[in-house]
Amino acid sequence: MGETFGLPGVGESHVMPVFADMDERWTAYTSRFRGQPVMAARLDAEGFRGLMAQFIRDAYAAEFPAGRWVDKTPGVIAGLPLILAAFPGARILLTRRTGTETVASHIAKFREPFAIACRKWQRSMAGLIAARTLPPNVREAVLEVEQFDMANAADATGARIAAHLGAPGQAAALAACFHSRQVEATATHDRARRLTLNDTGWSSEQRQVFVSACGAMMETLGYPM
């Protein structure tokens, strides 16, 4: 996508997850003491978020001095409020795919324990659903895209993304990119259909873990098991 729009990038930067985690933990911790006569109750959660936002802005400005770039980072949907605090003018694409495909891909890429990969997908999708309830003026910065549609409805998806990025003239070039390239390099199944549990080769124990951690979210999002 960066090539299509002439934007620099570093692939998957993996910058925002650590800050999103700190933001979430800070907010949760200080909230525990709200209304209590302890100093922790008076710590400024929003002020701390502002400090992190400035640090993030400075880091990206040093990496991309022209002020425009494309950044792909998995699992950072929960950090959306912090991203928008750091970059109010950002245009954000939230991509989603079925839990079976995401967990299989995550394990292949990062070699993490199966249960952790399941929890990460569930948490990301919970963040995506929460993003749907953002205030309208903030929601305008976010476009939700189904990864399956990049492969199977490339023209319509390219047009949606190009319009969201304020470059409708690039719709055809973006669609051509989706037509010619496989969006997820680790996927080995037919891209014209969803990966189901029967396709994964997971053990019965792994299937049970997946259903327990991800089954409800799979149903919420309308993904086949």
- What are 114-147's pLDDT values in tens digits? 999 999 899 889 988 988 888 888 889 999 999 9
Q: Is residue 9 part of a domain?
A: yes
Q: Which of 153, 160, 159 is nearest to 179 (CA)?
A: 153
Q: Is residue 62 part of a domain?
A: yes
Q: Is residue 125 part of a domain?
A: no
Alpha carbons 44 and 27: distance in angstroms, whole number: 9
Residues ≥6 apart with Cβ < 8 Å to 217? 99, 121, 122, 125, 126
Residue 68's domain comprises 1-90
Alpha carbons 44 and 51: distance in angstroms, whole number: 11
Quick one: pLDDT band at residue 188, thresholds 50, 70, 90?
Answer: low
Q: Is residue 55 part of a domain?
A: yes
Q: What is the pTM of this model?
A: 0.82
Beta strand 142-146 pairing with 92-96: parallel
Neighbours of 152 (CB within 10 A): 14
Specify the pLDDT at position 215: 96
Q: Is residue 149 part of a domain?
A: no
Q: Is residue 132 part of a domain?
A: no
Could you report the per-residue pLDDT of 192-204, keeping only the tens digit for each?
A: 789 999 999 999 9
Residues ≥6 apart with Cβ < 8 Å to 207? 197, 200
For helices 204-220 and 114-131, the axis angle rounded to 10 degrees is 0
Q: Is residue 85 part of a domain?
A: yes
Q: Is residue 201 part of a domain?
A: no
**How many domains is the chain built from?**
1
Specify the pLDDT at position 173: 92
Residues ≥6 apart with Cβ < 8 Å to 134? 80, 142
